[in-house]
Amino acid sequence: MRYVSTRGAAPTLGFDEAMLTGLARDGGLYVPETVPTLSPDEIAALSGVSYEEAAYRVIRPFIGDSFTDDELRGAIERAYARFGHAARAPIVQLAPNHFLLELFHGPTLAFKDFAMQLIGQLFQIALARDGRRITIVGATSGDTGSAAIEAFRGLPNVDVFILFPEGRVSDVQRRQMTTPDEDNVHALAIQGDFDDAQARVKDMFNHFEFRDSVNLAGVNSINWARVLAQVVYYFTSAVSLGAPHRPVSFTVPTGNFGDIYAGHVARRMGLPIDRLVIATNQNDILHRCLTTGEYRPDGVKPSISPSMDIQVSSNFERALFDAYGRDGKAVAQLMDELKRNGAFSVSQGAGEALREVFDSGRVSEDQTLATIARIRRSTGQLVCPHTAVGIAVAELRHDPAVPMITLATAHPAKFPDAVEQATGERPALPDRMSDLFSRPERVTSVPNDLSAIENLIQQRRRR
Ligand SMILES: Cc1ncc(COP(=O)(O)O)c(C=O)c1O
Ligand SMILES: N[C@@H](CCOP(=O)(O)O)C(=O)O
């Protein structure tokens, strides 16, 4: 299995190198040369197996000879051992034919743990082979950062630097990043928004002298391995509702487009997905792009679902690559236009191709709050604001004849202020995190400036 860049001008790599590389050297994102498929019988056979076994069967065809069967099975077992639910990704009913897929039972209470715990394990196997040291740099709007720190804290051959937008993540999210005391992890509060943080991370990858001198690696969903691990729960949840014998739909609270792109991959692997719905908050660039064909970021607007406060959505590049018939030159041109003019237009053909595979919707802040309150009244459940955005959009786009699964992407206790504002109730953190607010914080404020950030990383990383 080989991986190619969405911009068509970087070396093709095997799975392990694509994973350790992060961003391709032409600025693009790695995708598999071909997407392997599972037959209807193979999909049906996922029914009743453990989450770990399903993960092995879904992921194995993408790995080639990068990891042995035993290595992959071991990594999967260790990755999910710390999850607080036997099913790992349980599904609960919300309303007739509408279900929630709970993705917040991992160590940091958000869906990011599904991928980050696994790639933490795979990185360790790959790095142990040649004694390599790496420097991981990540951008976060709150959840990727805590999941990455949890997965890599204390590792002797990895230094982790996480850039988060100062003042724009919840207190729980910030403390999850700033309270671990291992000296290989560094929380950096950037004076800017998430798009600035992500842009600086990409700048570091495109600055080859720096990239090579620190052995840079990325764990944002620019990393294909992140997306791949997230494909699994589309299969397990759909099969539990009758796939492949009947189709299901998914609504995905969306920001950087990694999670919904994983659903797109599941569909291409053969999972019968009817609608794949992008749910956005007021940062609705993806919904606008799908409906108008114009991709025009207009500045991140802080919201009560802060993890989705993103306007430059990384993995949309992967969807564009597919929509443009895997034409790397065309994608490179669009990305160049975005850099030079701050916007691009999607061609008519590519726009139609996108609308064929993705549906979309957007909800306001008031609708999000009203949804949290209504779900509490009707089902007794508290949901996080990102999940509420998903539920509200799912209700708009639901064909009642087809089961709809909305991804519950984070635990409500990560966003207690929004939940309290909506319901008057403040959700409690799990017991194991009860000292989060009494631990000392360690954080460095950094300007939105590439050289300043690179210098800091050079000084702090261990050699
Ligand atoms: C809780 C939560 N929901 C939804 C999203 C959006 O997911 P994606 O960036 O994969 O589109 C994020 C951030 O990624 C998140 O942390
Ligand atoms: N919402 C994310 C933003 C980064 O997304 P990623 O999936 O590309 O890592 C976050 O919580 O950090």
- Look at residue 216 and tell me if it is in a domain: no
Tally the domains of the chain: 1
Ligand 2 close to Cβ of residue 305 (< 6 A): no
Q: For residue 384, which atom of ligand 1 is closest to its CA?
A: 1
pLDDT tens digit sequence for 344-386: 999 999 999 999 999 999 999 999 999 999 999 999 999 999 9
Ligand 2 close to Cβ of residue 141 (< 6 A): yes
Q: Which ligand is nearest to the CA of 415?
A: 1
Distance 39 CA to ligand 2 centre (A): 32
Q: Which residues pair with 444 in a beta bridge?
A: 188
- Look at residue 333 and tell me if it is in a domain: yes
Q: For residue 194, which atom of ligand 2 is closest to its CA?
A: 3
Q: Which residues have CB under 8 Å from 78's CB, separation 6+?
A: 121
CATH number assigned to the domain comprising residue 344: 3.40.50.1100
Whether this model's ipTM surpasses 0.90 comes out as yes
Return d(Cα 172, Cα 174) in angstroms, integer: 5
What token pair was written down for 400? 């009642």
Ligand 1, atom 9: nearest CA belongs to which residue?
Answer: 256
Exposure of 17 by Cβ count < 10 A (0-12 exposed, 13-18 middle, 19+ buried)?
middle
Distance 230 CA to ligand 2 centre (A): 13
Ligand 2 close to Cβ of residue 255 (< 6 A): yes
Q: For residue 173, which atom of ligand 2 is closest to its CA?
A: 11
Distance 111 CA to ligand 1 centre (A): 8
Ligand 1 close to Cβ of residue 194 (< 6 A): no
**Residue 463's pLDDT is what?**
84
Ligand 1 close to Cβ of residue 255 (< 6 A): yes
Regions of the chain with pLDDT less than 70: none
Q: For residue 257, which atom of ligand 1 is closest to its CA?
A: 11
Distance 278 CA to ligand 1 centre (A): 11
- Look at residue 389 and tell me if it is in a domain: yes
Mutation test residue for ligand 1: of 111, 146, 195, the one with most atoms within 8 Å of CB: 111
- Look at residue 341 and tell me if it is in a domain: yes
Are the CB atoms for 460 and 183 separated by under 8 Å? Answer: no
Distance 378 CA to ligand 2 centre (A): 30
Q: Which ligand is nearest to the CA of 257?
A: 1
Mutation test residue for ligand 2: of 23, 140, 173, 389, the one with most atoms within 8 Å of CB: 140
- Look at residue 210 and tell me if it is in a domain: no
Are the CB atoms for 374 and 220 separated by under 8 Å? Answer: no
The crossing angle, in degrees rounded to 10, of helices 143-152 and 112-130 is 40
- Look at residue 170 and tell me if it is in a domain: no
**What is the extent of the structural domain holding 368?**
91-107+224-423
Q: Which residues have CB under 8 Å from 111's CB, separation 6+?
A: 103, 104, 143, 230, 259, 407, 409, 410
- Look at residue 122 and tell me if it is in a domain: no
Confidence (pTM): 0.98
- Look at residue 342 and tell me if it is in a domain: yes
Ligand 2, atom 5: nearest CA belongs to which residue?
Answer: 256
List, by residue number, the catalytic residues.
112
Distance 226 CA to ligand 1 centre (A): 12
